[in-house]
Structure 1
Amino acid sequence: MEPFLPQGWRLYAGFAALLFAGFAAFAGLSEGPITAARPRPAPATPVEHYVLALSWSPSYCAEEADKRDHAQCGRPLGFIVHGLWPQFADGRREKCDTDAPRVPNAIIDRLRPIMPSAGLIGYQWRKHGACTGLSQGDYFATLEDAYHRVRIPDALTLPAGVAHMSPEAVEAAFIAANPDLTAPMLDITCSTTRLREVRICLTPALDFVACAREGNSCRQGAVEIPPVSR
């Protein structure tokens, strides 16, 4: 038997039940995080080709005295990897979203023989690697494979003294050392006086491929190639 309630109490109880039901419904609608989670990176479109940028370390150390990395300068280093830059059909992309902005020490230590600056490694991942759609491990493994795909000419391996060469001679030396490489597949950059970089285009499978030059090709008659530190 239901308990007897006076008329006024029955009306009050019914109103309270309606009020509680309305509050519960509102609470159900508002349940969940106040702010939405940051969206994950969208899948990258396929890489059309890569640009492998090989920097002449002695030039960097001679020209960037106030900014140079002591982990790099003062060591017997010639060509090192500046970066492996993905290129897409609609151009270059940079600084893509990533859930892993920091490169683990294990990868940094493995790369030091060809990319001696920890700061550079991290920066290149955030600026370029994150845009490839590859994991850090796969991106840097591809970078290592790309570096080993290119044979450095003997004359530019560990020169003991200052050399002077035209950009065309540097280009010809790389072509002679790499039989599958042709002039439309690489570019030489320089400062006003020194060799800076050799940039080589590679397919995603790391075959040499022709590509457009970026407009900063070296136009000096001859450039200085500082010697490697001993």
Structure 2
Amino acid sequence: MTNNRIRCLIIFIVTGLLIFLIVGTIIYLVRRSEHRVVHPDACPRPKQYQTNYDYDYTKNSKEFRNTDSSVDYFQLSLSWSPTFCGGKQNSHNLFQCQHVFGFVVHGLWPSKTKTGRGQSNNIHPRNCRNEPPIPADVIKKYFCLMPSEKLMQDEWEKHGTCYWQKPEDYFEKINYLYSKINIPNNINDILNNGTLGYKSIKQSFIDINPQLKWEEINVMMRKNKLHEVAFCYDLNFNHIKCI
């Protein structure tokens, strides 16, 4: 009788532990997939934020306005900071290039599907509204995504105004999408290996992002230097094939 009670107690304890482990694992996976906010201390910060970051597309001869185009899909583009800082004239004066950053968000772009080869990028919506400078609290909240006040303002006016009404909504969507992507920690190793290329970079993302398919990622390299990695979304912000 005593042996049976001990046996039943052991079975009860083991079963309880298994249930605890299973429930704990489920909770962990659910929380991991939930929206994660970029921590305000997750990156270097300037001692004083810039105040002269307003943007006017008419002052750039290469810019254009297109308010008549439809939005067919979205593209989230991540810039590889070491390449950006190594190739831009006077980039050492930029806060981003004075500190160690890996991938930073270049922008989230409402885009139109091209219907023919060689079609101009001017078909995409762009510079839909002239907006005042982004509020300082928004700059500070999302600075770790785009460590440049000017870049944030540029991207908001060039692209964000063509779909969103407020900069807070634009950057919150960027933050949400970015938080869903696991960033590989072996990019430098791949780039330092001359026998590896863009396929290895793309595979490194797929290895740790099972929700992504090969054709849903674009890797842009020039002369074996990584420039950007982009992800494409439909109008419901589900991953789709990059066009």
Contact 1:60 1:68 in 2 (8 A): no
Counterpart of 1:88, as a letter, is K
Q: Deviations over 1:91-144 (max 9, x none)?
A: 52111124x332111111112112101111010011100101332111111011
Secondary structure (helix, strand or coil) at the match of 1:176 reads helix
Q: Who is 2:27 aligned against? A: none
Residues of 1 paired with 2:95 and 2:236: CA distance? Answer: 31
Work out which of the two has the higher radius of gyration on C-alpha atoms and give 1 or 2: 1
Q: Who is 1:13 aligned against? A: none
Residues of 1 paired with 2:223 and 2:95: CA distance? Answer: 26
Residues of 1 paired with 2:154 and 2:136: CA distance? Answer: 14
- Alignment equivalent of 1:170, drawn from 201, 207, 214: 201
Identity over aligned residues, as a percent?
28
Secondary structure (helix, strand or coil) at the match of 2:220 reads strand
Contact 1:101 1:126 in 2 (8 A): no
- Offset of 1:204 from its aligned partner? 3.7
- Alignment equivalent of 1:189, drawn from 186, 207, 220: 220
Q: Which structure 2 residue ranges, 5 or more long, are not aligned?
A: 1-66, 115-122
Q: Deviations over 1:64-108 (max 9, x none)?
A: 14245521013121110000001235752111124x332111111
Q: Who is 1:55 aligned against? A: 79
* Gap change, CA 1:102 and 1:189, over 3 Å in 2: same
* TM-score, normalization by structure 1: 0.65
Give 1:1-230 correspondences, 5 Å limit: 47-67=71-91, 70-88=94-112, 91-98=123-130, 100-156=131-187, 159=188, 163-164=192-193, 165-212=196-243
| Structure 1 residue runs of 4 or more that deviate by more than 6 Å after TM superposition | 43-46
- Offset of 1:146 from its aligned partner? 1.3
Residues of 1 paired with 2:99 and 2:110: CA distance? Answer: 29
Residues of 2 paired with 1:78 and 1:118: CA distance? Answer: 18
Residues of 1 paired with 2:207 and 2:158: CA distance? Answer: 32
**Number of corresponding residues:** 167
* TM-score, normalization by structure 2: 0.62
